[in-house]
Structure 1
Amino acid sequence: MKKHLNLTLLTATLIILSLNNGCNAESKKDHTQNIAAGPRHAKNLNLSIFLDLSDRIDPKKYPNETMEIYQRDLGYINSLAEAFQSHVNRTKISRMDETMQIFFEPEPKSKQINELAKQMKLVFNKSTVTTDKIAGIMPTYESNSKKIYQVALKENKFIGADIWTFFKNKVKDQCILPNHQNVLVILTDGYMYHQENKLKIGNQTSYLSPELIRMAKLNTPDFEKKMSDGKFGFIPATSGLQELNVLVIGINPQRGKPFEEDVIKKYWGDWLKRMGVTNFQIKGTDLPTYMDSIIKKGLAGK
């Protein structure tokens, strides 16, 4: 009888311990799931857009039957504005500190373009944000960017875009904020040229033109080896850009040159890496519809 009683007590104890362990395990499991499912706050967004208003946007010089280059640019800008507006809408007011602006280099001589660009510098924080201001992001960017391109095309004074000098003098100070997701989007065909900036050290330059690629005989299947052996590339304009994400859109090589786009992308990729940029994408001149998802993933940090 005593032996049977001890066995019963032992069995009951094991059952209780088993139930307790099960409850503890389930509780622990729920806690882990709650942590994983908890809110994850993305960094505040600091979005900069560089517009290359060189002759690449001239429909007379570089016509495109499917969609003109300036129209593609406008489509990309609309996607950027839409993505930024969505981001602001998702951000809690208490932690809001979002910025969006556009840049040129050199600064346009047109007072109208400069005034339009000034209106496109948007800053949202808990002191300045309003529902109307958020709702006005897309209309402002759509309207003002369209007017900027109209003025640029009407004036027909294309002196080139000095992207190299922009990186040298402005990117660190004006495109990077601490504790932000800093994104710089550059709309350009990939050729880098300005009449007042023609630095050259060996085979490294501050510019890139179809003539340079042709004279260096880089438009061949072994262009990577030639560039490596000859140390071809851009001169680094600055350093320490680890906190900057870069998206280059619109690479548009001259027709009939099968490796030119690859050469341009390698120039850009090598240059960005040498300046410290670790997160970048370099894209061609696809239709805005196809580029939309790439732009929005890029701004979401994906």
Structure 2
Amino acid sequence: MKTILQKALIPFVLILFFSCKEDNKNEEKKIVIKSSVSENLNISILVDLSDRISLKKNPNPTMEFYQRDLGYIKSVSEAFAKHLKSKRIRQIDDKMQLFFNPEPENPEINSIANELKIKVDKNNASKNLLNSISGNYALKTAKLYDSAIKDDNYIGSDIWNFFDNKAQDQCIDKGYRNILVILTDGYMFYEGTQIKNGTLSNYLTPQLIKQNGLNTNEWQKKFKSENFGFIRIDNDLSNLEVLILGINPAKNNPYEEKVIKAYWNKWLTEMNIKHFQVKNTDLPSNMDKIINDFILEKE
């Protein structure tokens, strides 16, 4: 009788065992999700205010490049707000800021940029603040671009120098997931700091690509064998993730896009940046998912 009873109980014990095991799996998934949500974001946006946004020099009938930038920034700020709303109030300790390099001489632009440095924590987090972040960011960045275009004094963008001297101090904080979003056409040029070291340089222009002979179907072989690229920066930026938006290659070289991305990919890898993406210019509606996935769904 005892043996029969034991045999009868076996199926129930197995069901209970596997049920508990499945519950544990589900609980582990919940823990992982909570851990991801509770991370603190430190998002920096580096804007290239060169003549790429000029309505005179680079008009675009589909959508002006400055309008694309505004759409990208809106998506970044919406992703930031979405992240904040997914956290408990006591967990919130997140930051978002906007940079130029060099700083424009126009004091109005710099004043607006200072207003775009925001920190949200448990002491100031409120429903009204979280709901207003994206709208405020959109309004202020629109004023910023409007002022830059009216000023019509495009001094270039020294992105190389920003990585060399500022990225580590201004974009990386302990205890945060540090993300740098760069809005640029992929070229680098600043009148004040042009450095060349053999086949390496701290700038990149369509003229330089042509001069280096990287405008034929042999470009990749030449790029590797002759060690072309940006001058290496001896900074370990392994705690930084980088999303580059707006790559806009010149149309007279069918290999221009691949060359630009080769420069960036090599350079970011040399700085130990493990998570990065380099994306072409596109309509903001097409870029929204890419931006959201990068910020909210880290691989």
1:24 corresponds in structure 2 to 17
Q: Within 5 Å, which residues of 2 pair with 1:36-47?
A: 36-38=29-31, 39-42=33-36, 43-47=39-43
Q: Alignment partner for residue 82 of structure 1, among 78, 81, 87? A: 78
Listed as ranges, the matches of 1:4-153 within 5 Å are 8-38=1-31, 39-42=33-36, 43-153=39-149
Max radius of gyration: which structure?
1
Per-residue deviation, 1:147? 0.9
Query: Distance in 1 between the 2:29 and 2:245 partners?
Result: 35
Q: Quote the RMSD (CA, aligned, Å).
A: 1.4
Give the unaligned 5+ runs of structure 1: 1-7
Deviation at 1:35, TM superposition (A): 2.8
Aligned to 1:183: 179
Distance 1:17 1:191 in 2: 70
Q: Which runs of 4+ in 1 moved over 4 A?
A: none
Pair 1:22–1:73, CA change in 2 (3 A): closer
Deviation by residue 1:114-136 (Cα, 9 ceiling, x = unmatched): 11011111101112222222222
**Partner secondary structure for residue 158 of structure 1:** coil
Question: What's the CA shift for 1:81?
Answer: 1.1
- How far residue 21 of structure 1 moved from its aligned partner, in angstroms, is 4.0
Q: Unpaired segments of 5 or more residues in structure 2?
A: none
Q: What is the aligned-residue identity percentage? A: 41
Specify the SS of the correspondent of 2:34: coil
Q: Is residue 48–residue 184 contact of structure 1 (8 Å, CA) maintained in 2?
A: yes
Shift of 1:13: 2.8
Q: CA deviation at 1:33?
A: 2.5
Q: Does 1:195 align with 2:191?
A: yes
Offset at residue 17 of structure 1 (A): 4.4
Q: Separation in 1 of the partners of 2:11 and 2:152?
A: 82
Distance 1:61 1:34 in 2: 57
163-172 or 238-247, which moves further after superposition?
A: 238-247
> What CA deviation, in whole Å up to 9, does each residue of 1:20-57 have, x standing for no partner?
34433333332333333345222211110000000000
In the alignment, which of 236, 245, 248 is matched to residue 244 of structure 2?
248
Does 2:256 correspond to 1:263? no
Q: For residues 171 and 177 of structure 1, what CA distance do their matches in structure 2 show?
A: 11
What is the letter of the counterpart of residue 63 of structure 1? Answer: P
Task: Give the Cα separation in 1 of the matches to 2:84 and 2:138.
Answer: 17
Structure 1 range deviating more: 85-94 or 116-125 = 85-94
* Distance in structure 2 (CA, Å) of the matches to 1:22 and 1:118: 61
Determine the structure 2 residue equivalent to 1:4: none
Decide which moves more: 140-149 or 127-136: 127-136
Looking at structure 1, the residues matched to 134 and 19 of structure 2 have their Cα atoms a distance apart, in angstroms, of 48
Preserved CA contact (<8 Å) 1:165 1:237: no
Q: String of CA shifts for 1:244-295, please: whole Å, max 9, x gaps.
A: 1101111111112111011001000100000111111001111111011101
Secondary structure, in 3 states, of the residue corresponding to 2:173?
A: coil
One-letter amino acid matched to 1:40: K
Give the TM-score normalised by the residue count of structure 2. Answer: 0.94
User: Partner amino acid for 2:75?
Assistant: S
Q: CA deviation at 1:94?
A: 1.1
User: How far apart, CA to CA, are the structure 1 residues paired with 2:76 and 2:46?
Assistant: 12
TM-score (norm 1): 0.94
State the 1:18 CA deviation.
Answer: 4.5
**Residue of structure 2 in register with 1:3 after alignment:** none
Alignment size in residue pairs? 295
In structure 1, distance between residues paired with 2:184 and 2:140:
19
Please give the alpha-carbon distance, in whole angstroms, between the structure 1 residues aligned to 2:72 and 2:41: 18
CA contact (8 A) 1:163 1:192 kept: yes
TM-aligned CA distance change 1:24 to 1:93, over 3 Å: same
Q: How far, CA to CA, are the matches of 1:27 and 1:237 in structure 2?
A: 52
- Aligned partner of 1:219 in structure 2 is 215
Correspondence for 2:235: 239
Aligned partners of 2:19, 2:75: CA distance in 1, in Å?
Answer: 45
Moved more, 237-246 or 156-165: 237-246
- Cα distance in 2 for residues equivalent to 1:249 and 1:25: 48
Does 2:226 align with 1:230? Answer: yes
